[in-house]
Amino acid sequence: MHIPDGFINIPTAAGAAALALTGVGYSVKKAKGELDEKAAPLIGLVSVFVFAGQMINFPVAAGTSGHLLGGALAAVLVGPYAASLALTVVLAIQALLFADGGLTALGLNVFNMSIFGVWSGYAIFLLVRKTLRYSNSALLIGSAVGAFASVPLAATSFSIQYAIGGEGTFAPSTVFTAMFGTHLLIGIGEAIITTLTVGAVLKTRPDLVYGKNKRAKVTS
């Protein structure tokens, strides 16, 4: 899912970077109020866990692998604002130190994973949990569904960027179909890792789980 340099032209990447910067800036502003002594260490732990998790590519089909995005996972555990911040730090470290994801493509990647991935996963989590009436199993099912959906949705965000500024000459619908299909499979792995992790925290420290105390305000 990490876009290398060159796939998407510079104007589109710059536009995505501006959107990403705005989104992350807003997230920082909103997360500020939540950074008390209790929440702050979990945000740090979530960021290192997402970094570690993203190193583990799992096979999904012949010759294809996928890895955790962590957007829904982070949003359920620490809230969407802190999650956007945590994932942005992970993506920046990956691009700067490990050449994973391009430098000019960093804005595209931050937009897809730290903003779109986080918020799509979180919105779906809230809706599912509300529908299932806020039990602990509703929290886990919501995490699973949100995590699952966030992956093909982030892939869709890439497909839109490619349609706007892709350097290749492929029909947007072809790119979308291939990306969406492949990432549906990766979404299953995302759901499994997210549910196991949220479940483990819920079992040991339910008081720390942000999503447990939040009631759905999102309506769409």
Partner 1 sequence: MINKKFYLFGLTIALLIAGVLSFYASSSPDGLEKVATDLGFIDTAKDSATSKSALADYAIAGISNERLSVGLAGIIGVIATGLAMYLIIRFIGKKKN
DSSP alpha helix (H) spans, 79-117: 80-98, 106-109
- Minimum Å gap between C-beta 216 and partner 1 is 27
Crossing angle of helices 136-165 and 10-32, rounded to 10°: 150
Q: Which is nearer to partner 1, 60 or 128 (CB)?
A: 60
- Minimum Å gap between C-beta 185 and partner 1 is 8
**CA separation for the pair 88, 178 (Å, rounded):** 26
**CA separation for the pair 216, 197 (Å, rounded):** 22
The set of residues, in sequence order, having a beta carbon less than 8 Å from that of 113 and lying 6+ positions away, is 1, 69, 71, 87, 91, 154
Indicate the DSSP class of residue 208. Answer: G
- Minimum Å gap between C-beta 55 and partner 1 is 4
Could you give the 3-state DSSP secondary structure of residue 197?
A: helix
- Minimum Å gap between C-beta 47 and partner 1 is 5
- Minimum Å gap between C-beta 168 and partner 1 is 3
73's tokens: 């996972």
Q: Which is nearer to partner 1, 19 or 208 (CB)?
A: 208
Q: Which is nearer to partner 1, 143 or 157 (CB)?
A: 157
Q: Which is nearer to partner 1, 97 or 133 (CB)?
A: 97
- Minimum Å gap between C-beta 62 and partner 1 is 9
195's tokens: 């549910």
Q: How many other CB atoms sit within 10 Å of the CB of residue 218?
A: 13
| Residue numbers at the binding site for partner 1 (CB under 8 A) | 1-7, 28, 31-33, 35, 40-41, 43-45, 47-49, 51-53, 55-60, 63-67, 85-86, 89-90, 92-103, 155, 158, 166-168, 170, 174-175, 178-179, 182-183, 185-186, 204-205, 208
Using alpha carbons, select from 150, 180, 127 the residue that is nearest to residue 68.
Answer: 150
